[in-house]
């Protein structure tokens, strides 16, 4: 797919209150393009709560339902069932940050997955509570400095994808804001399934990760090219690694190439760095083996 094949319609207008270089709003642009106008976006507390604009204005051209932090997936459950009760085929998409997914929202997400709710859950992951000024979340990687881990996080990132996979989803995927065609294709595909689907999208954050705003695409690409973030789909349990990661896995860039431009990893201790490298290698090996089995 080339970028020109992506629909020209814009559902997120050029009047958001996003930070310069925000990749989550960029991601959302392609999510909307793939979903089309008959869509409701359910948004818990997260950066998108702010990005959409301040009442009475909105930058979004589809209905956006804002709901409490822990409640997005449950709210989407009710909405999805109610649309079905009315014979409507409206897409219900949760667009939640990593805090609203891995931490406070995990219970309602798990419940909605288990009940077979017909909806798409998208977690855009900037690896911390970005909206409130970068406090650590369950998605913050080992060694990263946040305002609540000033000496670097001492524990690892939660494997939310394994948790999601444990719900026997018919379709789940990972994506990254630096690969818009990949996001478009995966969202469009997810919406062809009935029942719960999940897409976990890495969304680098310039103020939070502390890199220059113009590097936001480069940062996403470095995450993939270093193997720190792997793009894949799991359809009916079968894993297929997406092309950019397939290429990267043949010869990943050194992890330092990804970490060094980010202020949050400044002064990371050698032990944490080594652990990150080991786990990165183990993850690539595990995913390659899973794909080979499929």
Partner 1 sequence: MKEISTGNKAIAKAVKQALPGVVAAYPITPQTEIVETIADYVTSGQMKSRYIPVESEHSAMAACIGASITGVRTFTATSAHGLLYMHEMTNWAAGARLPIVMANVNRSLGPGWNIWAEHTDAMQERDTGWLQVYASTVQEAYDTTLMAFRIAEHNDVLLPVMVNLDGFSLSHIMQPLDTVEPGDFIPPIHLPHAIDTGNPTGYGGLTGPDQHYKFRWDIERSMRDSVKVIAATEKDFAKRFGRSYGPTENYRCEDADVIIIAMGTFGKEAEVATDILRKEGIRAGSMRLRWFRPFPDLDLTGKEVVVIDRDYSFGYGGIVAHEIMAKNHCEVYSVIAGLGGQEVIYDDMAEFVRTRRIGEEIWFGVNDHV
Nearest residue (CB) to partner 1, 82 versus 282: 82
Tokens encoding 119: 């909806």
Binding site for partner 1 (CB under 8 A): 37-40, 42, 49-50, 52-56, 58, 60-68, 70-86, 88, 90, 107-108, 110-112, 114-115
Q: Where are the alpha helices (DSSP H) in 65-179?
A: 72-85, 98, 106-114, 160-165
Q: Phi first, then psi: what are they for 198, rounded to 5°?
A: -140, 130
- Measured distance CA(219)–CA(239) in Å, rounded: 25
Q: C-beta of 100: minimal distance to partner 1 in Å?
A: 12
Residue located via tokens 């609203």: 100
**How long a stretch of residues is the chain?**
294
CA–CA dist 258, 224 (Å, integer): 9
Q: Which is nearer to partner 1, 84 or 213 (CB)?
A: 84
User: CA 38 from chain center: how many Å?
Assistant: 22
Burial letters for 38-48: b for 16+ Cβ neighbours within 10 Å, e otherwise?
Answer: ebbbbbbbbbb
Q: Give CA 259 to chain center in angstroms.
A: 19
Least distance (Å) between residue 104 CB and partner 1: 10
Nearer to partner 1, 115 or 215 (CB): 115
| Nearest residue to 31 via CA among 55, 60, 56, 58 | 60
Task: Tell the smallest beta-carbon distance from residue 137 to partner 1 (Å).
Answer: 20
**Cβ proximity to partner 1, 8 vs 89, nearer residue:** 89
Of 115 and 158, the one with the shorter C-beta distance to partner 1 is 115
Nearer to partner 1, 73 or 160 (CB): 73
- Nearest distance, CB of residue 60 and partner 1, angstroms: 6
Closest contact distance (angstroms) between CB of 175 and partner 1 is 24
Q: CB of residue 82 vs partner 1: minimum separation in angstroms? A: 4
Q: Rounded distance, CA 228 to CA 243, Å?
A: 15
């Amino acid at each position: 797919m080339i970028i020109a094949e992506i629909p020209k319609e814009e559902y997120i207008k050029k009047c958001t209150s996003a930070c310069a270089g925000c990749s989550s709003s960029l991601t959302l642009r392609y999510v909307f393009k793939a979903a089309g106008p008959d869509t409701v976006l359910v948004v818990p507390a997260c950066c998108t709560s702010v990005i959409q604009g301040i009442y009475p204005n909105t930058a979004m051209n589809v209905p956006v339902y804002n709901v409490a932090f822990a409640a997005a997936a449950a709210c989407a459950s009710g909405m999805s069932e109610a649309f079905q009760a009315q014979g409507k085929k409206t897409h219900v998409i949760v667009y939640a940050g990593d805090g609203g997914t891995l931490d406070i929202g995990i219970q309602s997400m798990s419940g909605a997955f288990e009940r077979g709710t017909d909806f798409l859950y998208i977690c855009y992951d900037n690896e911390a509570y970005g909206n409130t000024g970068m406090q650590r979340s369950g998605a913050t990687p080992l060694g990263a400095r946040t305002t609540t881990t000033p000496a670097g996080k001492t524990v690892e990132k939660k494997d939310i994808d394994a948790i999601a996979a444990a719900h026997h989803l018919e379709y789940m995927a990972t994506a990254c804001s630096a690969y818009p065609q990949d996001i478009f294709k995966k969202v469009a595909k997810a919406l062809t399934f009935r029942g719960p689907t999940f897409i976990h999208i890495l969304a680098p954050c310039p103020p939070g990760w502390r890199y220059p705003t113009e590097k936001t695409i480069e940062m996403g690409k470095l995450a993939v090219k270093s193997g720190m973030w792997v793009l894949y789909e799991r359809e009916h349990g079968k894993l297929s690694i997406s092309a950019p990661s397939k290429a990267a896995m043949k010869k990943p860039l050194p992890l330092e190439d990804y970490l060094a431009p980010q202020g949050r990893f400044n002064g990371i201790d050698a032990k944490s760095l080594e652990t990150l490298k080991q786990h990165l290698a183990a993850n690539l090996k595990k995913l390659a083996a899973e794909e080979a089995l499929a």
